[in-house]
Structure 1
Amino acid sequence: MTLQDSPPAPAPSLDDGILKVLANAGSGTLSAPEIAHALAPDGDWHGLLMPIRRAAVALALAGRLVIYRKGKPADPNDFRGVYRLGLPRHD
């Protein structure tokens, strides 16, 4: 089996991509469009907005990220409008 015959590496999951972008942002928060741009800089990032929201809810419920609304943590099951995402703070 040569390098050309080997299967391509699996694409990272959206969850992993979101968490990686947030980790690179440090202790700050990012909006869904900012994350979408980071994940698909040359592609159609608009198509990622709803999948990012769904993944963010699941990640927030698992305690892996925090959804912020007006600068305060929001209930992942009940938030509307503009939101930002950040990694949990360990203060």
Structure 2
Amino acid sequence: MSDPIEAAIFETLAKADPKGVGGKSVEPADVAKHIQTEQWQRVLPKVRATALHLMRQGRLTITKKGKVVDPANFRGVTRLRLPTEAETAAALAALPPKPEVDDDFV
């Protein structure tokens, strides 16, 4: 099952950047308004949390004043965009390694 907020983020980005070449960004508020036109402010914290989760997975980039933010420490006005290949690789490299499964005990 897909997360509706995650889907709304990528739908809003697709409208802003139909060719998917990257570089075009959207505000988290635009995504919140896409989800709920009235009272979109209530959805905004969930949009930001989902965007942060996607950034840590390497599927989204959060920027502030055109520069990529540190996912562990940022505040203020941000924008969302699709990541470059280098940004995706860096995010995946930062993830903790997955534990190996020992076939003898399975």
Please say whether Structure 1 and Structure 2 have the same fold, judged by a TM-score greater than 0.5: yes
Does 2:34 align with 1:38? yes
8 Å Cα contact 1:57-1:77 kept in structure 2: no
1:14 aligns with one of 2, 5, 12: 5
State the Cα RMSD in Å: 2.0
After the TM superposition, list the runs of 4 or more consecutive aligned residues in structure 1 that deviate by more than 6 angstroms: none
2:75 aligns with one of 55, 75, 80: 80
CA apart distance, 1:68: 0.2
Does 2:83 align with 1:61? no
CA apart distance, 1:69: 0.8
More helix by share: 2
8 Å Cα contact 2:59-2:82 kept in structure 1: yes
Change (3 A) 1:81 1:19: same
Change (3 A) 1:11 1:88: closer
Q: TM-score, normalised by structure 1?
A: 0.77
SS of 2:43's partner is helix
Q: TM-score, normalised by structure 2?
A: 0.67
CA apart distance, 1:89: 3.0
Unaligned 5+ runs, structure 1: 1-9
8 Å Cα contact 1:22-1:86 kept in structure 2: yes
Q: State percent identity of aligned pairs.
A: 33
Q: What is the letter of the counterpart of residue 50 of structure 1? A: P
